[in-house]
Amino acid sequence: MSRLIVVSNRVNPPGGKGEESVGGLAMALAAALREYSGIWFGWSGRTTPMFTGQLAMRRVEGVTVATVDLEQSDYDEYYNGYANKTLWPLFHYRVDLTAYDRTFDEGYQRVNRRFAETLRPLIEPDDLIWVHDYHLIPMARELRRLGVKNRIGFFLHIPWPAHQLMVTLPSHKALVEALFDYDLVGFQTPEYVTAFQEYVAAEAGGEILAEDRVKAFGRTVQTGAFPIGVDAQDFAEMVASERAAKTYDRMAAHTVFRKLIIGVDRLDYSKGLEERFLGFERFLADNPDLRRQVLMVQVAPVSRESVSSYQEIRGRLDALSGRINGEHADLDWNPLRCVNRNYRRDELAGLYRAAKVGLVTPLRDGMNLVAKEYVAAQDPKDPGVLILSRFAGSANQLPAALIVNPNSPEEISEALKRALTMPLAERIERWRALFSNVQGEDVGAWRDAFVGALAGDDRFHEASALAS
Ligand code: GDG
């Protein structure tokens, strides 16, 4: 049976940094790694004065974890630079925030080479290698240079941008060519698969063959959509936990004559927080009768604080929430609360459950797991309503949500009114349709579909049969 090697920028196995900080993705990958006696390889999160390539190996809850430290210039140019100042904004349609800096590109290539060289001695001939996300696009090319012949798959967690955006990147062709060193390239939605294929056809004279195989640069790669899900079962169990119940009670006591609207997002410009606040402000102005019946809570833990565009959002959001509260608050009520703190996952589960509306309005999002977590946490007999941006990958799977354009305060305001006044029967009907998807296409199904496709289905079925 093949082993599985998972490669991602950060390595975060359950039990590693406190159970509560770990999401469904980490749990699902860890479960696969246990089943396949695999290794999880990535950056340690630490920097050293000089890169040494020294591997640190440890076992965490039955998973072998292998990490390597990076140099400060690696961190600046690869992680903060090319990954988070170039690819992240560009792939989220923010050309205005995209840094086109050659040293970032060089740092990105260097770190991918360093990762490949460090990982190389751990690879055995039959291993399946699964590389994650935009930090590591050139990984397969670097591994191939070192003679690795194994099957290597790549999964992109963020959107694949439209052709005209992609070509603004000076080295776009080299970046895309590097994807042809993989055997399988997976995207979140069929829309991103199509965008990738369109780029390859237009810019590299590529050919789209049967079953989404794509030929270009003298090679052929399998592409496909693998929408990621959450661990719905785990979420349902978490809702029943003591901490979730405490958080639920706390929020319920706080909103006795009010309905709670909840938003949960890393503080990131792609999540559309300012536009969401503007939509809520419009709702308050348009609905004087409903106004005092709501409380909006936005949980927005800070992320990527060393990147200036991330520091700036916080200031803008503070100003906006100050303005909204200043305009609409009363002696005993503030309509909007924004907390820049990280909560435990079981606390989030209680918070989702207490909220009558889940407001998920990113401007662009590969998938968006918060939408699915909100659905998974609802009471089937009295579920809340999900309002979801059409630009989240999850909108493709969750059409029973109230779908909005996040750039329109009017659409957000109308959807809020509709959600807050929706009859129980309609809420139940919509929630059932949503939950059926969240439960059916969960994170385990995503992982199995990807690993199955990477292994070539027959080998995968054999491996699963052996494991069971
Ligand atoms: C990328 C893609 C894609 C948030 N606040 C807290 C907290 N969270 C958790 C949520 C959720 C996760 O973080 C965020 O997941 P998203 O999917 O919303 O977004 P990204 O972080 O941007 O992830 C995205 C994803 O990869 C997977 O492929 O869906 O499109 O951008 O699980 O619950 N967790 C805790 N405390 C918080 O305060 N514990």
Which pLDDT score, from 0 to 100, does residue 235 have?
A: 86
What is the CA(156)–ligand 1 centre distance, in A?
A: 15
Atom of ligand 1 nearest to the CA of 159: 30
Examine the residue annotation and report whether 157 is marked as an active-site residue of this protein.
yes
Q: How many CB atoms lie within 10 A of CB 274?
A: 15
Does one domain contain both 206 and 287?
no
How many angstroms does the Cα of residue 217 sit away from the middle of ligand 1?
A: 35
Identify whether residues 263 and 309 lie together within a single domain. yes
Which residues have CB under 6 Å of ligand 1?
21, 23, 25, 157-158, 228, 264, 266, 299, 301, 342-345, 348, 365-370, 373
Cα(436) to centroid of ligand 1, in Å?
A: 21
> Annotated catalytic residue: which of 183, 265, 365, 442?
365
Quick one: which H or E segment has residue 139? helix 139-145
Ligand 1 geometric centre to CA of 262 (Å): 15
Q: Give the pLDDT score at 23.
A: 60
Looking at the fold, whether 168 and 187 belong to one and the same domain comes out as yes
Examine the domain organization and report whether 49 and 187 are in the same domain.
Answer: yes
Inter-residue contact 443 to 229 (CB < 8 Å): yes
- Total domains in the chain come to 2
- Nearest atom (ligand 1) to Cα of 345: 39
How far apart CA 107 and CA 128 sit, in angstroms, is: 27
On whether both 314 and 427 belong to a single domain, the answer is yes
Closest by CA to 286, choosing from 427, 420, 386, 390, is 420
**Alpha carbons 25 and 6: distance in angstroms, whole number:** 12
Q: pLDDT (tens digit, 0 to 9) for every residue of the chain, 468 residues total?
A: 689 999 999 887 766 444 444 566 777 787 778 778 889 999 999 999 999 999 999 988 888 999 999 999 999 999 999 999 999 999 999 999 999 999 999 999 999 999 999 999 999 999 999 999 999 999 999 999 999 999 999 999 999 999 999 999 999 999 999 999 999 999 999 999 999 999 999 999 999 999 999 999 999 999 999 999 998 888 888 999 999 999 999 998 888 889 999 999 999 999 999 999 999 999 999 999 998 899 999 999 988 877 777 888 889 999 999 999 999 999 888 999 999 999 999 999 999 999 999 999 999 999 999 999 999 999 999 999 999 999 999 999 999 999 999 999 999 999 999 999 999 999 999 999 999 999 999 999 999 999 999 998 654 444 444 443
Question: Do 268 and 304 contact (CB within 8 A), yes or no?
Answer: yes
296, two tokens: 């909006």
Which one of 157, 268, 328, 346 is the catalytic residue? 157
Ligand 1: which atom is nearest the Cα of residue 157? 28
Token pair, residue 57, equals 């190996």
**Could you tell me if 32 and 122 lie in one domain?**
yes
**435 and 454 together in one domain:** no
R_g of the chain, CA atoms, integer Å: 23
- What's the rounded Cα separation, in Å, for the pair 63 and 165? 39
**CA–centroid distance, residue 354 to ligand 1 (Å):** 19
Judge if 220 and 282 occupy the same domain: no
| Per-residue pLDDT at 32 | 79
Burial 47-68 (b: 16+ CB within 10 A, else e): beeebeeeeeeeebeebbbbbb
Check whether residue 215 and residue 238 sit in a common domain.
Answer: no
Instruction: Report the atom number in ligand 1 closest to the C-alpha of 20.
Output: 39
Instruction: Assess whether 251 and 310 both reside in one domain.
Output: yes
The predicted structure's pLDDT at residue 24: 60
- In the annotation, is 365 catalytic? yes
- Say whether both 295 and 327 belong to one domain: yes
- Nearest CA to 228 out of 25, 50, 49 is that of 25
pTM for the predicted model, two decimal places: 0.95
CB 109 within 8 A of CB 78: no
Q: Please count the helices (runs of H) and the strands (runs of E) in the chain.
A: 19, 16
Vertex 213: Cα angle to 209 and 214 (nearest 5): 80
Do 184 and 269 share a domain, yes or no? no
The number of C-alpha atoms within 13 Å of 317 and in the hemisphere containing its C-beta is: 26
For residue 3, give the nearest of 183, 180, 150 by alpha carbon: 150
pLDDT value at residue 15: 61
Distance CA 289, CA 91 (A): 41
Q: What CATH number did the domain enclosing 214 receive?
A: 3.40.50.2000
Q: Which domain holds residue 238?
A: 232-440
